[in-house]
Amino acid sequence: MPKVTFTYGGQTKTVEGKQGETLLQIGIDNGIPIEHACGGNGFCTTCLCKIKKGNDHLSARTEREENMGISDAQERLGCQAKLQNGDVEVDVIDI
């Protein structure tokens, strides 16, 4: 299974994720503190993540992300970015 390495609050944790799961879901399932004020629906940006490695192992940017102004190539909404077949390294952004 692909691995996701999360960096948050000065800590780093590597976990396994299933293909098709969002970064938010993988994080929540593994005790990573990712905010998700809108419940993972792409309307709040509190789940904002910076992708350090493996951007090409995530699903394409969604219309919701574009509507929320997430346009930096390295930034994704954790609730919208789905893991594909490969490892990813992610900084969880504190908002």
Do the Cβ atoms of 16 and 2 come closer than 8 Å?
Answer: yes
- Using CB under 6 A, which of 4, 26, 32, 47 touches ligand FES? 47
Q: Measure the CA–CA gap between 4 and 18, rounded to whole angstroms.
A: 10
- The nearest distance, CB 57 to ligand FES, in angstroms, is 19
- Using CB under 6 A, which of 17, 26, 27, 45 touches ligand FES? 45
- The nearest distance, CB 79 to ligand FES, in angstroms, is 3
Do the Cβ atoms of 53 and 83 come closer than 8 Å?
Answer: no
When asked if residue 37 is in the footprint of ligand FES (CB under 6 A), the reply is yes
Torsion 75-78-80-86 (CA) sign: positive
Q: How many residues bind ligand FES (CB under 6 A)?
A: 13
